[in-house]
Amino acid sequence: MCGIIGIASNKPVSINIINSLKKLEYRGYDSAGIATLKNDLINEKKCSGRVEELEKILLKSPSEGNIGIGHVRWATHGVPNVINAHPHSTENVSVVHNGIIENSDDLKKELETKGLKFKSQTDTEVITLLITEELKKFEPLESVFKTLKKLKGSFALGIIFKDFPEIIIGARRGSPLAVGYSKDENYLGSDSYALKSMTNKISYLDDGELCVLTKNSVSFYDDNENKINKKTHIISDDENISDKGDYKNFMSKEIFEQPITAKKCVNEYIDSLKNDINIYNFPIEPKEIKKLILVGCGTAYHSCLVAKYWFEELTSIDIEIDIASEFRYRNIKFNTENLYVFVSQSGETADTAAALDICKKNNVKTCSIVNVIESTIARNSDWVLPIHAGPEIGVASTKAFLGQLIVLYILCLKFSSMRGEIDKKLYNQNINNLIKLPEAIKETLNLENNIQLISKEFIEARGSMFLGRGSSFPIALEGALKLKELSYLHAEGYPAGEMKHGPLALIEEGLPVIIIAPKDKYFEKTLSNTQEVIARGGKIFFITDNKKDSLSDNIRFGLRVPHLDCFLSSILLTVPLQLLAYHVALLKNCDIDKPRNLAKSVTVE
Ligand code: AGP
């Protein structure tokens, strides 16, 4: 996803802009650029490819100036090349943008009829030219306000002006934007993570708001052009922030961090002395909740799907799950007796944020389960349940998925207990199992070598299938997603009971089929589905936590993970699938932390 930086300072800014852009690399991008202002000249430098390419350009030809903006671009309009890289500048204005302007074609046509020429294929250049035109009649702030009124779609903007060398203007609608404060220097950034190395004092713009930065002042405005005040947050300093330590890449670090993640997350919510769960400030009395709606995207959505089975087992609450990009356009019948829960690692996913906005507009109670507590989704929810996973840098989500599952399970147990729908013995037992989870994950991670041995069998295959029943079905979806996004190989997650309704036709000699079969009420049924696949030549990789089952010799590979209970099996059976995807991607020399075409935080539709 695109990332924005802006710095207004009493000293040269290009090095700090580059260093901050490097902090934004985790978002996924394909080009980069910077624009600084010196001696009434906008000095724009851009490249396709990585930030280090831009750094090389600056080494040869430094960009001076105490005010500047920078950008890493994830292409939405126009191919990833130098011309389409940001910033987009005219002689008087330079703009960096994260988001999508949905009416850019119409606006471009209007400007072209006025004789204006475009260099790029981007929607952003339209913004640059509109502001340039308005500047002929108005001051910068007024010019920006007038321009924003013409735009449809989403943006986070950073803008500098040739004739106003003291200011940077930022604006936000639908894409996150933060402001950072320091002595003789102020900052604009897509998130606090990008600004962390320069400051821990952060304010967040909300949709419709603008800011004007100078090196020693920051002013905020609402969309009626009124001056407003914004809260300053002191952001947390994550001890395990952005270094890989001894790991080859962030993903392996984050997979192997999962015992720590589990322990930290469990400790945040469980009082082991009282053997009880601590979550307070419910926005709605659990006994009065008629329906729970869980919403997310991608892996976060999969965590919602798993939780559906848990809530159905442990509570009488009606439960609905939806993908955020679907939810936001459905004709939903909102109900104030429902609780709407949004799951998002980044807390900035555009579809999930938009779905939350719709709930807020309909005055219903909302809760978010996030990893970034300063994020937009967290700030806009009635109630936040952090997953405490620490920064997740690898684009493919692993420890955050674990954290999402743990928090959803804890919420389910607490609601069940408060509604008097679980007996004390089972409640205590489940809490004790949660406390044992970190050790069980560690034991599962010790199986890495077995998994590494089979990974090459996925390279040669035409694709693979992941099958499961009950809460193992979403784990099958998650395992397939991991393999797809990391190794670019086709993989499909499917309900094991559904194979005979069509997909069984895909099974051919040697096709890898991963069977996820925990010791639960579906186990025997899953065994029968396994036989269906074996009979047609499928190559079975059987992953279970069932000690009793003598893995039949008709299977290619069997893996047994520790068993805690039928709820936590979903978590433990995910770990081998993460390791499988990781090792297949390694064999294929894929970019483990930044898979092609993907972004860590999808802040556009
Ligand atoms: C997970 O491996 C993917 N990178 C992706 O599906 C991700 O889960 C999805 O984009 C949602 O992101 P979020 O949790 O930050 O909202």
Q: What does the pLDDT look like over 34-64, one tens digit per residue?
A: 999 999 999 999 999 889 999 999 999 999 9
Out of 234, 254, 278, a domain closes at: 234
In a domain, 174, yes or no: yes
Out of 390, 422, 454, a domain closes at: 422
User: In whole angstroms, how far apart are CA 139 and each of 37, 65, 222?
Assistant: 18, 22, 17
- Of the candidates 399, 400, 402, 373, the one whose C-alpha atom is nearest the C-alpha of residue 386 is 373
State the CATH number of the domain containing residue 455: 3.40.50.10490
Please work out whether the CB of residue 604 comes within 6 Å of at least one atom of ligand 1.
no
Q: Same domain, yes or no, for 94 and 124?
A: yes
Please, what is the average pLDDT of the chain?
A: 92
Q: Same domain, yes or no, for 297 and 418?
A: yes
Residue 2, pLDDT score: 77
Q: What does the pLDDT look like over 192-202, one tens digit per residue?
A: 778 888 999 99
Q: Same domain, yes or no, for 358 and 452?
A: no
In a domain, 323, yes or no: yes
Please work out whether the CB of residue 349 comes within 6 Å of at least one atom of ligand 1.
yes
In a domain, 460, yes or no: yes
Q: Same domain, yes or no, for 186 and 54?
A: yes
Please report where in the chains the tokens 């050790």 appear, as a residue: 439
Q: Which residues contact 423 (CB under 8 A, 6 or more apart)?
A: none
Q: What does the pLDDT look like over 340-373, one tens digit per residue?
A: 999 999 999 999 999 999 999 999 999 999 998 8
Q: Same domain, yes or no, for 221 and 101?
A: yes
Tell me how far the alpha carbon of residue 394 lies from the centroid of ligand 1, in angstroms.
11
- Whether the per-residue pLDDT at 174 is higher than 80: the answer is no
Q: Same domain, yes or no, for 128 and 107?
A: yes
Task: Tell me if 395 sits within 8 A of 593, measured CB to CB.
Answer: yes
Please work out whether the CB of residue 300 comes within 6 Å of at least one atom of ligand 1.
yes
State the CATH number of the domain containing residue 47: 3.60.20.10
Higher pLDDT, 14 or 274: 14
When pLDDT is cut at 50, 70 and 90, the band that residue 153 belongs to is: confident
In a domain, 333, yes or no: yes
Q: Same domain, yes or no, for 94 and 131?
A: yes
Residue 498's domain spans which residues?
446-593
Residue 600 annotated as catalytic:
yes
Out of 234, 257, 284, a domain closes at: 234
Q: Same domain, yes or no, for 50 and 199?
A: yes
Neighbours of 497 (CB within 10 A): 17
Q: Same domain, yes or no, for 318 and 209?
A: no
Mutate to test the pocket of ligand 1, among 303, 346, 582 (most ligand atoms within 8 A of CB): 346
User: In whole angstroms, how far apart are CA 478 and each of 374, 458, 495?
Assistant: 27, 17, 12
In a domain, 605, yes or no: no
Residue 240, pLDDT score: 47
Instruction: Calculate what percentage of the chain has a pLDDT beyond 70.
Output: 98
Q: Same domain, yes or no, for 252 and 218?
A: no
Please work out whether the CB of residue 368 comes within 6 Å of at least one atom of ligand 1.
no
In a domain, 340, yes or no: yes
**How many domains does the chain contain in total?**
3
- Among the options 2, 211, 304, 412, which is catalytic? 2
Task: Tell me if 54 sits within 8 A of 41, measured CB to CB.
Answer: no
Please report where in the chains the tokens 């005010």 appear, as a residue: 67
CA distance 476 to 485: 14
Residue 241, pLDDT score: 56
Ligand 1 atom closest to the Cα of residue 346 is 15
Alpha-helical runs (H) found in 419-508 = 424-445, 448-459, 472-487
End-to-end CA separation in angstroms for the chain: 11
- Whether the per-residue pLDDT at 132 is higher than 70: the answer is yes
In a domain, 437, yes or no: no
- Whether the per-residue pLDDT at 525 is higher than 50: the answer is yes
Q: Same domain, yes or no, for 229 and 250?
A: no
In a domain, 433, yes or no: no
Q: What does the pLDDT look like over 110-119, one tens digit per residue?
A: 999 999 999 9
> HSE on the CB side for 369, CA within 13 Å?
31
Q: Same domain, yes or no, for 372 and 480?
A: no
Q: Which of 62-76, 90-104, 183-197, 273-287 has the lowest mean pLDDT?
A: 273-287
